[in-house]
Each structure stands twice: as C-alpha cells, then as structure tokens.
C-alpha cells in the first residue's frame, strides 16, 4: 500500500511540474533610486527600461516568454542593498538579479546573492572585492586596479602632475580602493601625493581643502561620487585652487555639471562609455535608440545596465531553463557578448570582464570624449 | 599652520556655524514653548530650498520674490505641520509627540521623493536661480571670504535682535513666555495659546527657510535628504547652547561650526569622522552640563 502512495505522489508531482508552464521570467533589480547617489540608480534603470522595450521577451522552449523586472530601491545604503536582494529572492522569487551600482552596496548585496545561490550582475561596481571568491557575482564593467593605473598614468604623462591631493571618502569601498590603486601606480612613477578624508553625504569640504591647498597640489584627484565631486570642485576653486581636477567613473552623472557648473569645467575622468566612443558594433544602434527614447545623451550607467539585462537574457536563452544555478553557469560561460559598452567575456572562474575605458572631460557644460583606452 | 591658514579656517567655520545657528533657533523655540523636539525641522529646511527652487524654475519668479515666497511658504508649512500633527497631541504624553515628529520627518522626506524626485536638483546660479555675485569672494590678506558669509552672519545677528525684541518687548512674546510656563493657566488669562504656538512654528520655519536658501547657495544642490544632517547638527547646536534659549542656539551653532572645522584643520586624518565629533560634543555636554552652555532656569525659556 505504501508503495502505491509513493507512486501516486510521484505521478502527481509529475503532473504538477508539467502543468506549470513558464508564463513569465522574473528578474530582480536593486538600485540606488533615492539618496545621495540617486542619479546612478535612475540612470541604470532608464537603461534597463530601454532594454526591456527593445527586448520584452525571452525565447524558451520555442516560445516567447515575457520578461518582468522587479525594481527595488536600496537608497544607496549597504544594509538596504542586502535587504533588497533578500526580498527579491525570497519574496519575489527572481531567477537573477541586476545591480547595484556602487561597490559598497554590491558587496553587501552580493553576500546574500552568493549565499542564496542566485546570480547577480552589477553594472558598475568596480571594486575587485565585489566578485572575489564569489561564484554568483558578475559585473559588466572593468575593475579599479586597471582604472587606478590608467588615472595615475594620465595624471603623470598628460597632466604632468607632480603633487596630487587625493580626496578620500572613508565610507565607500570604491573610493578607498580606487585611491589605493592610483597611489600605487603614481608612486611608481615617482609622483608625490597626500590624502584628505571625508564621509559620504558631507557637504562642507572647506576645512580639508584649506589644509590641502596649503600643501600646494597641482592636481586634486577625486575618486568619489558626483555630488561630492561637484561640491569639492566649487569649494576648491573658491578657495583659490588653479590646478587640475581628476576623477573616476563616480563622476559620470549629469548632476556633476548641473551642480558644479563652471567649477567643474576642465575636469578629467575615466569611465566606461561615451556616446561618441566606438566601443562595439552595438554602440551606435543603442545611442540612436536611447536618444529617440529619452531625448538626451546616453550615459555610462544606463549603457552598462542595458548590457547587464541583455547578458542575463542571453544566458537564459542559452540554458533554456529558469533554474538560478543553470543561469549562473550560463552567465559564467558568456563569451564575446557584444555589449554597447564593449564586448564581455568572463575568464575561467571569474566575474570580471576585460573591457575598454574612455577618458572624458567637461567642456562648455558638456561631457566630451578625449580618448578610448583599449586593454 | 600659517596665520592666513588659521583665519581661513575661522571664516569657513563662521559661515558654517551661522547656518547651524539659524536652524537651531527653530528647534530651541519650539522646545521652549512645547517641550517638543521637532525632528521634522531638518525636513522643513529642505522644503524651504525646494520652494525657492520651484518658485524660480517653475513659476519664473525673480530670485528675491522667490526667496521671500519660500520663507513664507515654509513658515506656513511649519504651522500646518503643527496644526495637523502636534496640536491633536497637545495633552498626550511627551513621547507620543516626539514619535509623531519623527513620523512627520519620514513623511516629508518620502513625500519629497515622490513629488520632487530622488535625484538632486541644482541650486547653481548658472541656471539663473539667483545672481552669481552672491558667490563672489573677497580676498583680505590671503584669506578668501565669500560674500555669502557676510550675508549669513548679518542675517544671524538681525534674527537674534528681532527675536529677542519679539520675545521680550511684544505682547505675543509675553504670551510665548507665559505659555512656556503653563499652557492651561495662560489660556485662562484669555490668551489664544494655539495661535501663539502657530506663530512660534512660523518663526522657526521661516528662519529654517532662510538657512536653507543660504545653505543651498553655499552647497548648490537639493535632494530629499538635504536637511537630515544639517538638521541633526542644528539640534546638537541647540542642545549644546542650552535648548530653549535663543542666544544659546546662536552660541551653540557657532561652537559646533568652529569645532567641526577646527577638528579637521588640526587633525586632518580624522576628517572622515567629523560627524562623530559632533555627536561626541553632544554626549559631552549632556554629561557635564545637561542644560547646555547658556541653559537658564526653566522659567526663562522661550
């Protein structure tokens, strides 16, 4: 009799499984939609919205299944970023996750995704620790050791800097990391540097800058985020600083120019994307579609979020399954994915693609492309 | 540190402390009258900036009209908050009113996200919000002083004189002082207590709007959480100076501004933790002299 029950259960289970047809693919997104770096999350989400419009379905088992992206706001807060991922996996039952933008949030969110074995693709978290020793975390961008070296080289060779003041946000893993990679390379060249410290959300930097300017730097390096960068540039110029400003990808938001105005003119920064940079065959169609949709210039955060979305959908189509672990394996096997910000190939056992970088500058209130640096 | 360097730090400190002082007055006056710490005050400050921003950008008012409009709109917002959130709790335990204040603060922040968006708006003179001459710098012997600092300190002194005059020389000031002692008895004397409380909220909120506009000129952005940290700092300033005392709020504001800047100036390696120093000062004052520096007898508080 017991055998009969086991048999019955198996039959029922089989019936239930085959009856549950795939009607929808649910992908999670956790971004910095509000808070001091809301620009990053909003730009990323605009990129995903465009990607969803251009590719609303994913082909599984010969059928076009609609894709649903569940967006949650992590407020740019580490604890919230972890909560968001927890909720996306436990409550929303998503099969993969996009975001967050910043390294600190991605580190906190990644710990949960790794533990719950759901793949997470961050568009722009560049700190190496984000993917280190983690199987389920991937990124669509380059990493900071490369960016830091590039910036140091640019400062030394192009700007001819000898004495650099570095403004370090002690609360952001990205900032501390990027500052360190810059210092290592810049010291190898024989350049001098010193650091000043602040905390995310600070608005007054006059004390740090007064101290920094008394040591006569020729360049101020700002490895932080755009709103602080804009305020630091304003206050530094007001205190009489005449040298160069240099920044990383954290500067890349329209708010930099809106808030900084004439004070950020001539700022140089490295980032992932510029609409005039020919990074891959996919770049041009994306720029055209973006301008048509939003009537403004596409940005790096949106471009890489666009890539992250398509990368996950490609992986789902290759594996033909909604099992998060199978999707993870398919993402890890990504090879020559033609993203709008350059091609992505994940090396064996790593979530870090090797990608080109662009150097931009602010001129006449616009972001202008200077050079594309290919790996 | 060179002498010019020291004076530069001092100027930076005064211009920061002046704004803290303006916000701190709002805390201190409300506390003086109702024994309520209005934690929504920092968000009222944020709304002051938003009102000025939209008055120029959306309603195309000239900047000075917009600023005056913002001050009055914020004053009415303060009175409105008092009317719907605090007045019904006038006779409730004090902790209920305090929790309501925190709730109002969260509501204002989240409403701002919905209404104005989460991204920062620029308060830059290049967008035509106000003349660029506000951002001019005056160079005295190597010390660069923003014009805005003179304006800030001028407004702080004017506000102090005006408030002292109101509180000690006018009828409504007398009513305020009476209410701070005993609301039921004051009502028995024929004073419309609710109106006096509303007036107090309007004064404090209007000053917060002035502080907000000055703040946004100095740090040209506004987003829904702009007022959170300045609000907390001003609260600390009010406590340090002696909460309930208007002069104390001024003194506390400047003390906080000066100590924040000087800590960074003398120990630059700890600059990332300067907020922690503000809280350390708060703890220190609460332990050593809980009434604050100018903390006076309860009967004098307004």
Q: What is the mean pLDDT of each run of 10 residues along chain A (375 residues)?
A: 60 51 91 91 96 95 93 94 97 95 96 96 96 95 96 96 96 95 96 94 93 95 95 95 96 94 95 93 95 94 97 95 95 94 93 94 95 90
- Identify all chain B residues contacting A206, using CB atoms and an 8 Å cutoff: 9, 12, 16, 261
Average pLDDT over residues B156-182: 93
Nearest CA in chain A to B7: A210
The four Cα atoms B211, B213, B214, B217 give a dihedral, to 10 degrees, of 150
State which H helix or E strand residue A134 sits in. Answer: none
| Contact status, residue A121 vs residue A94, Cβ threshold 8 Å | no
Q: Which residues of B32-51 are buried (b: 16+ CB within 10 A; e: fewer)?
A: bbbebbbbbbbbbbbbbbbb
pLDDT digits (tens, 9 = 90+) for B80-124: 999 999 999 988 998 999 999 999 999 999 999 999 998 999 998
Q: How confident is the model at residue A99, as a pLDDT?
A: 87
Q: Is it true that the peptide bond before A100 is cis, omega within 30 degrees of 0? A: yes
Task: Give the nearest partner residue to A204 out of B16, B137, B272, using CB atoms.
Answer: B16
State which H helix or E strand residue B194 sits in. Answer: helix B193-218
Nearest CA in chain B to A76: B118
> Does residue B252 or residue A15 have the better pLDDT?
B252
For residue B136 the two structure tokens come to 């001019």
CB interface of B with A, residues 136-155, below 8 Å: 137, 144, 146
Query: pLDDT at residue B145 above 60?
Result: yes
Whether chain A has a CB inside 8 Å of the CB on B113: the answer is yes
At a CB cut-off of 8 Å and minimum separation 6, what does A144 contact?
Answer: A126, A127, A128, A174, A177, A178, A181, A248
* Helix, strand or coil, per DSSP, at residue A34: coil
CB–CB of A261 and B122 under 8 A? yes
DSSP label of A204: -
Whether chain B has a CB inside 8 Å of the CB on A140: the answer is no
What is the average pLDDT value for chain B, to the nearest integer? 91
Whether chain A has a CB inside 8 Å of the CB on B229: the answer is yes
Task: Give the nearest partner residue to A38 out of B119, B123, B137, using CB atoms.
Answer: B119
Q: How confident is the model at residue B300, as a pLDDT?
A: 47
Query: pLDDT at residue B2 above 70?
Result: yes
Which residue is associated with the tokens 């080109």?
A356
Q: How confident is the model at residue A19, as a pLDDT?
A: 46
At a CB cut-off of 8 Å and minimum separation 6, what does A87 contact?
Answer: A72
Average pLDDT over residues B46-75: 95
Global pTM value: 0.91
Enumerate domains of chain A plus CATH numbers. 7-142+280-355 (3.40.50.2300), 145-271 (3.40.50.2300)
CB–CB of A227 and B225 under 8 A? no
CB interface of A with B, residues 221-250, below 8 Å: 227, 230-231, 234, 238-240
Sketch the domain layout of chain B as residue ranges. Answer: 3-300
Tell me the CATH class for B3-300: mainly alpha
Compute the distance between CA of residue A41 and CA of residue A75 in angstroms, rounded to an integer.
9
pLDDT tier at B252, thresholds 50, 70, 90: very high
- Identify all chain B residues contacting A202, using CB atoms and an 8 Å cutoff: 274-275
- Tell which phi-psi region holds residue A252, choosing left (phi > 0), alpha (psi between -120 and 50) or beta: beta
């Amino acid at each position: 009799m017991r055998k009969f029950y086991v048999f019955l259960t198996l039959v029922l289970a089989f019936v239930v499984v085959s009856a549950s047809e795939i009607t929808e693919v649910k992908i999670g997104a956790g971004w910095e939609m509000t808070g001091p770096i809301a620009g990053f999350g909003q730009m990323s989400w605009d990129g995903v919205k465009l990607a969803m419009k251009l590719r609303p379905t994913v082909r599984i088992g010969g059928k076009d299944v609609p894709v649903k992206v569940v967006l949650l706001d992590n407020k740019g807060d580490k604890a919230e970023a972890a909560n968001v991922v927890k909720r996306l996996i436990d409550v929303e039952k998503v099969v993969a996750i996009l975001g967050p933008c910043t390294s600190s949030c991605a580190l906190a969110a990644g710990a949960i995704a790794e533990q719950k074995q759901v793949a997470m693709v961050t568009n722009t978290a560049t700190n190496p620790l984000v993917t280190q020793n983690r199987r389920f975390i991937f990124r669509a961008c380059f990493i900071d050791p490369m960016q830091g070296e590039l910036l140091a080289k640019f400062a030394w060779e192009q700007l001819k800097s000898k004495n650099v003041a570095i403004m370090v946000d002690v609360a952001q893993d990205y900032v501390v990391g990027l500052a360190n990679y810059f210092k290592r390379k810049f010291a190898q060249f024989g350049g001098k540097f010193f650091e000043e410290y602040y905390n995310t959300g600070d608005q007054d930097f006059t004390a740090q800058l007064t101290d920094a300017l008394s040591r006569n730097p020729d360049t101020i390096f700002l490895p932080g985020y755009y709103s602080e960068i804009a305020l630091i540039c304003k206050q530094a110029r007001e205190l009489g600083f005449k040298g160069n400003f240099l920044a990383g990808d954290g500067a890349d938001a329209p708010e930099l120019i809106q808030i900084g105005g004439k004070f950020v003119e001539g700022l140089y920064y490295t980032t992932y994307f510029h609409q005039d940079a020919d990074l891959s065959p996919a770049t041009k169609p994306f720029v055209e579609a973006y301008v048509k949709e939003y009537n403004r210039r596409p940005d790096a955060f949106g471009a890489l979020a666009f890539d992250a979305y398509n990368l996950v959908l490609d992986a789902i189509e290759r594996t033909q399954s909604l099992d998060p672990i199978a999707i993870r394996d398919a993402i890890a096997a990504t090879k020559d994915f033609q993203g709008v910000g350059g091609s992505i190939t994940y090396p064996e056992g790593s979530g870090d693609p090797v990608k080109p970088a662009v150097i931009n500058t602010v001129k006449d209130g616009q972001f202008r492309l200077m050079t594309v640096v290919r790996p | 540190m060179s002498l010019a360097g020291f004076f530069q730090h001092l100027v930076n400190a005064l211009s920061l402390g002046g704004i803290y002082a303006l916000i701190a007055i709002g805390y201190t006056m409300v506390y003086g009258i109702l024994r309520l710490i209005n934690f929504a005050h920092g968000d009222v400050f944020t709304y002051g900036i938003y009102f000025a921003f939209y008055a120029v950008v959306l309603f195309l008012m000239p900047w000075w009209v917009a600023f005056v409009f913002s001050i009055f709109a914020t004053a009415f917002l303060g009175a409105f908050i008092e009317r719907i959130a605090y007045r019904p709790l006038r006779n409730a335990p004090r902790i209920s009113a305090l929790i309501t204040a925190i709730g109002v603060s969260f509501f204002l922040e989240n409403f701002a996200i919905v209404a104005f968006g989460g991204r920062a708006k620029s308060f830059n003179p290049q967008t035509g919000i106000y003349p660029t001459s506000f951002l001019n710098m005056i160079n005295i012997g190597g010390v660069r002083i923003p014009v805005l600092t003179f304006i800030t300190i001028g407004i702080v002194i004017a506000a102090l004189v005006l408030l002292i005059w109101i509180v000690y020389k006018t009828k409504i000031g007398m009513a305020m002082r009476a209410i701070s002692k005993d609301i039921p008895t004051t009502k028995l004397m024929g004073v419309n207590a609710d109106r006096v409380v509303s007036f107090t909220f309007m004064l404090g909120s209007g000053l917060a709007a002035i502080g907000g506009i000055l703040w946004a000129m100095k740090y040209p952005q506004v987003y829904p959480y702009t007022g959170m940290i300045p609000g907390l700092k001003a609260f600390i300033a009010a406590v340090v100076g002696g909460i309930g005392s208007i002069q104390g709020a001024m003194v506390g504001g400047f003390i906080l501004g000066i100590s924040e800047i000087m800590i960074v100036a003398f120990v630059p390696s700890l600059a990332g933790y300067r907020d922690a120093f503000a809280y350390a000062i708060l703890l220190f004052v609460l332990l050593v002299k809980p009434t604050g520096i100018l903390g006076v007898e309860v009967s004098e508080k307004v």
